[in-house]
Amino acid sequence: MEPQAYALASEVEERHWWFRGRRAVLRALLDRQVGGSRDPRQVLEVGCGNGGNLALLARYGEVFAVELDDAARERAARRGVATVEAGGLPNGLPFAGRRFDLVAALDVLEHVEDDAAALRALADRLKPGGLLLLTVPAYRWMWGPNDDISRHVRRYAPAEARALVERAGLALDYFGHFNTILFPLAVAQVKLAPLLPGDRYAGLRLPPRPLNRLLEGAFALERFIAPRFALPYGLSLVALARAAR
């Protein structure tokens, strides 16, 4: 991600509808999968950015985190939620020799040239029976300005993402989409973007409060649906997959 994009995200990700809505959906999915156990867990987030998801992941165990960007890593460490170290995928992960009950890579894999090797590296850090939480952007035809400023290498077709997880030796517990309710608006925004002059960082600006609340509410409604029914389309893909026992 561009340094300016990291900095802008750090200013808004506690309040911005997209970040809050995504956390609501992911929390609902994780609560359904792992929330009921009282066993102590160790959690790893790879590519934690500014650390906006660390408090969510801390609900499920002791959190360790990895981030490549120096400034973002410092902001994540200042939260005091996790042990944060420098590193990257596929061959630069810290915490050697440690295995985790839950590994999260949230909108990370699309940044890595060798995504297959990266996913195998994530799978290797799971304990037997451990859970991988993976999100990636969906549909190559939805490439837009945010992909450019985020320095994405690709977006994923659903079948492509599913096959990638399975080739890493993981068994899918759940696979589906999210950011479904607002998907038509996202399509319109991406397709009209080349025709409209404007701020290339507009997606990282905080909307007016009423609009922000409206968008967050619409997005977060999916927390009641996604854990029960895999949504058939949406702006993002989410997988929950298990390592072999």
Nearest to 51 by CA among 77, 15, 88, 26: 77
Domain that holds residue 59: 3-242
pLDDT per residue over 56-67, tens digit each?
A: 999 999 999 999
Which strands, in side-by-side order, build the sheet including 126-137? 83-86, 62-67, 42-46, 100-106, 126-137, 236-242, 171-178
Number of domains in the chain: 1
CB atoms within 10 A of CB 104: 27
pLDDT at 38: 60
Compute the mean pLDDT over every residue in the chain, rounded to the nearest whole number: 94
Please tell me the distance from the alpha carbon of residue 56 to that of residue 30, in angstroms, as a whole number: 10
Please write the tens of the pLDDT for every residue from 132-189. Answer: 999 999 999 999 888 998 999 999 999 999 999 999 999 999 999 999 999 999 999 8
Q: Could you give the percent of the chain with pLDDT greater than 90?
A: 84
Q: What is the pLDDT of residues 85-142, one digit of tens each?
A: 999 999 999 999 999 999 999 999 999 999 999 999 999 999 999 999 999 999 999 9
**Per-residue pLDDT at 209 exceeds 70:** yes
Per-residue pLDDT for 4 more than 90? no
CATH code for the domain of 180:
3.40.50.150
Q: Measured between alpha carbons, how far is 116 from 130 in angstroms, rounded to an integer?
A: 19
Percent of the chain whose predicted confidence (pLDDT) is above 70: 98
Give me the pLDDT at residue 72, please: 95
Lowest-confidence pick of 42-56, 121-135, 194-208, 213-227: 194-208
Confidence band for 36, pLDDT divided at 50, 70 and 90: low
The C-alpha angle with vertex 230 and arms to 229 and 233, in degrees rounded to 5, equals 130
d(CA 98, CA 125): 7
3-class DSSP state of 87? coil
* Residue 37 banded pLDDT, cuts 50, 70, 90: low
Inform me whether the pLDDT recorded for 54 exceeds 80: yes
- CA–CA gap between residue 61 and residue 238 (Å, rounded): 21
Q: What is the CA radius of gyration of the chain?
A: 17
d(CA 43, CA 104): 8
Q: Is the pLDDT of residue 22 over 70?
A: yes
